[in-house]
Amino acid sequence: MIGLTKSELYRSGYQVTAIFKISLHRKDYDLLCQIRDYFGVGIITKHGETTLQYMVRSIKDLNVILSHFDAYPLFSQKRSDYILFKQAIVLIKNKEHLTKQGLKNILSLKASINLGLSDELQLVFPDIIPISRPSTSSKAQDIKIKNFNYIAGLTSGDGCFFISIRNSSRAPGPPSATTGGGRGHTVSGKSVVLKFQIVQHSRDEELMRMLTSALGCGRIELALKQSAVYYVVTKYQDILDKLIPLFDNYPIKGVKALDYSDFKKIVFLMKDKAHLTEQGLMEIQSIKLNMNFFRKLARNS
């Protein structure tokens, strides 16, 4: 992101700062430490009541970040954000941000990055025209996810593993494609449903479609009111045969690794048909109650 702060110390009237940051829930402090140690630059600070952020803001340290993403390009619309962000850093390095015209050039870049200009900046600079965003869609068909560590990293940040136990009027039976893939009907009239999902901003629908191609399973769900797009896998056989081997070979980092471990336990309980018994269902319920939001409560209590 590009930050602007009013300051009388600069002829342009604003201090301009280029900032790279990653924000995560405080439960993922260890993951942020791994990121900081990997890059060897930056700091971790508190950001709100439940959030921490890893932040890099000096031009010298940002060169480390740029070198990384030049070597390992982004796939999503963040790639366009990155290209514009890098252009802004070049302007700052050349001290063009210290002039009024240079500031306007940076504002044109900022207007096309992430959420654009704030309402305040739009009032102060009403004549700023956003620069055209670099196109990524034209290359989308040529881009493939070749390193599955990328999917593991995406899951570590924006993935979720869900278990649902629902009432069912169907007779007992094993999980199958005809019952939604992740369901098995128990003797007590309950069904167990597995669900894996990754969520991104709706502008990254193409990235989600790349996941379906790379993994050979799953579907896309759009939530336009939330400006979100979901990659979703619910079929039991896809979860067992494709997702489990994937994340065993390309490990998830952070607290979501614990959720995956619990999710995997339930997958294999269902493989052994334990979910069709009262005892097995109770075991699944016990595991479910320590995942996701409930794990957060336990860790923060």
CA 294 to chain centre: 20
Q: Return the structure tokens found at 189.
A: 């009239």
Please indicate whether the domains covering 2-19+57-138 and 145-300 agree at the CATH topology level. Answer: yes
What residues of the chain score a pLDDT lower than 50? 138-141, 171, 174, 176-183, 297-301
pLDDT value at position 194? 96
pTM: 0.75
pLDDT value at position 185? 53
pLDDT digits (tens, 9 = 90+) for 79-121: 899 999 999 999 999 999 988 899 999 999 999 998 889 999 9
Closest CA relative to residue 186, chosen from 269, 283, 276, 280: 276
**Domain map (residue ranges) of the chain:** 2-19+57-138, 145-300
pLDDT value at position 298? 44
Q: Return the structure tokens found at 75.
A: 């796939």
The 10 Å Cβ neighbour count of residue 123 is 9
Q: Which class for 61: exposed (0-12), middle (13-18), buried (19 or more C-beta within 10 A)?
A: middle
pLDDT value at position 169? 59
CATH superfamily for domain 2-19+57-138: Homing endonucleases (3.10.28.10)
What CATH number is given for 145-300 in this structure? 3.10.28.10
The 10 Å Cβ neighbour count of residue 91 is 20
State the number of CA atoms in the 13 A half-sphere of 191 facing the CB: 21
| Alpha carbons 194 and 203: distance in angstroms, whole number | 27
CA 115 to chain centre: 17
pLDDT value at position 176? 46
Q: What type of residue is 115?
A: L
